Amino acid sequence: MNDNLEQMLIQDENLTDRSPFLKLRRWQWWLLVAINILFLIAGQAAAVLLGRFYYDQGGNSTWMATFVQTAGFPILCIPLIFLHPSQKLETSTSSTYPSIKIVALLYFVLGLLVAGDNMLYSVGLLYLSASTYSLICATQLAFNAVFSYLLNSQKLTALILNSVVILSLSAALIAVNEDSDGPSGVSKGKYLVGFICTLGASALYSLLLSLMQLSFQKVLRKETYNVVLEMQIYTSLVATCVSTAGMFGSGEWKGLQDEMKGFKSGRVSYVLTLVWTAVSWQVCTVGVVGLIFAVSSLFSNVISTLSLAITPLAALLVFHDEMNGVKVIAMLLALCGFCSYIYQNYLDDTKARKSESQSHTDDVIQESHHV
């Protein structure tokens, strides 16, 4: 679920936030970018495939599948250790930073939404193949455009509307496809439940991103690498606690031992599958945030798009998912929708850079006049 986090980050990407990257040599910078690209693509693809593998091998606990999506959040503490000291000081001493009670309440509410969203994703992946699941997840860009318009004052241009329509058509094709492939033993009714849950999860995730961006603008009033990682850590902590409570409240924890014994590939494989699923989601998050601050939010968005396109192909190779004509058309439509969305981001980014450059030029001219 972490493959589109960049939507809520950095509208004013200043040099202070990027200062650690500006000190790198060119080859070091390229190496850093390459590593983050690998983290994002491999992390998201591996997490989805391992989640499908968990169900295929006999796992059936949706609360456990929800738990592992955020349980690896301590990994995000590692980048915080290497942050520039001035960034930490700036965040903690800012006079505009809200009280601890307000921040705690904000993280708690967002954490509850993250937990609910993860549960919907878990149910969706239970009843859908990995490739179908990934294609439906692509609709989150369309939902994001709508919620950004309603909550974040983003303009709905012709390209954005085109993206929304195309992605909606892609999802509709998957929904009405008579030859839709689901996991073995999944009925048409359960397939429909999986489709609705995944679509609902995509919508809720997009809403969550818009609410987070609104929180940065209205409550936290800061979007630095440090603050963004802290939000990820604390909301993931809340979501992990909620999923743990759900596991015990529903009684699913009682069947975990039998689930481990009945896991087709063995007990060790069961544990490793859960551990690496948790790690994979957090590796993806590190890659997304790293690309935003090393390059730009646009570039991170492009790589996230590439990752979503790779996952169905990886599922085809690993699980031999059926790739019928309707699904191929849906994938091509999704890619067209992505391209339309990204091109609009490119135009916006170019316009913003020209405006910033012009503003800087005007400042220099004014200073020369004063001299």
Domain-wise residue ranges, the chain: 29-82+97-354
pLDDT at position 364, please? 60
Taking the C-alpha atoms of residue 268 and residue 273, their distance in angstroms, rounded to an integer, is: 8
Residue 102 — φ and ψ, nearest 5°? Answer: -65, -45
Q: What is the per-residue pLDDT for 144?
A: 76
- Maximum Cα–Cα distance across the chain: 80
Picking from 340, 308, 348, 266, the residue whose alpha carbon sits closest to that of residue 47 is 308
pTM metric for this prediction: 0.79
Question: Given pLDDT bands bounded at 50, 70 and 90, which one contains residue 176?
Answer: low
Q: Say if residue 27's pLDDT is above 80.
A: no
Q: How far is CA 19 from CA 24, 220, 294, in A?
A: 9, 22, 10
Structure tokens at 258: 């039998």
172 close to 200: Cβ distance less than 8 angstroms: no
pLDDT tens column, 9-23: 444 444 344 445 556
d(CA 144, CA 183): 29
The answer to whether 145 and 160 are in contact (CB under 8 A) is yes
Q: Which residue has the tokens 């996991």?
A: 183
> What is the separation, in whole angstroms, between the first and last Cα of the chain?
54
Q: Is-contact 202 308, C-beta < 8 A?
A: no
Of residues 108 and 354, more confidently modeled: 108
Total number of residues shown for the chain: 371
